[in-house]
């Protein structure tokens, strides 16, 4: 249900900056979450630049390196939460993953983890998703890879 509320809010939003979009989504989701929350990373690509803001979501990978920028609170927890954005050069490969990738667990309980995810982060999205699923899917597995044309 929260995703439906978030999608509806996104469709109604007139904001264009990632931080403003997250602030708008948070405003709508506070009080609607029933104790839950939504994590989200918002990236805007503009020519050779990207603008990124994060609300408690796994950080994006830029050319195989985990972005260590600031992450705000997940959406729907605290009214008035503030989100910051960073302006960065667009990497050759931008990879975004859901928490289901890093939290995929093997039969023995070993997590796929951040290190394996980082090591694969420059691979095509389907390869990363397939590897996490084979490891042991227990949540949604979503991977988006954006490659810059030189």
- Residue 81 and residue 73 in contact, taking contact as beta carbons nearer than 8 Å: yes
- Output the pLDDT for position 32: 78
Give the three-class secondary structure for 60.
coil
Angle at 33 between CA 41 and CA 15, to 5 degrees: 45
- Residue 146 and residue 94 in contact, taking contact as beta carbons nearer than 8 Å: yes
pLDDT digits (tens, 9 = 90+) for 74-118: 999 999 999 999 999 999 999 999 999 999 999 999 999 999 999
What residues does each domain of the chain span?
1-91, 94-150
| Distance, CA of 43 to CA of 30 (rounded, Å) | 22
Question: What parts of the chain have a pLDDT lower than 70?
Answer: 1-2, 33, 150
- Output the pLDDT for position 150: 67
**Tokens 């997940």 belong to residue:** 74
| Distance, CA of 7 to CA of 126 (rounded, Å) | 24
């Amino acid at each position: 249900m929260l995703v439906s509320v978030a999608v509806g809010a996104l469709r109604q939003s007139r904001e264009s900056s990632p931080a403003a979009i997250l602030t708008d989504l948070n405003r709508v989701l506070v009080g609607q979450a029933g104790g839950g929350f939504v994590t989200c990373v918002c990236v805007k690509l503009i020519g050779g630049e990207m603008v990124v803001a994060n609300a408690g979501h796994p950080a994006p990978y830029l050319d195989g390196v985990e972005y260590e920028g600031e992450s705000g609170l997940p959406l729907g927890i605290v009214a008035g939460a503030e989100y910051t954005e960073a302006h960065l050069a667009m990497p050759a490969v931008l990879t975004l993953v859901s928490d289901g990738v890093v939290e995929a667990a093997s039969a023995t309980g070993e997590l796929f983890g951040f290190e394996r995810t980082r090591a694969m982060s420059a691979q095509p999205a389907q390869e990363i998703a397939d590897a996490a699923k084979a490891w042991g899917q227990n949540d949604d597995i979503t991977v988006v890879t954006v490659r810059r044309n030189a």
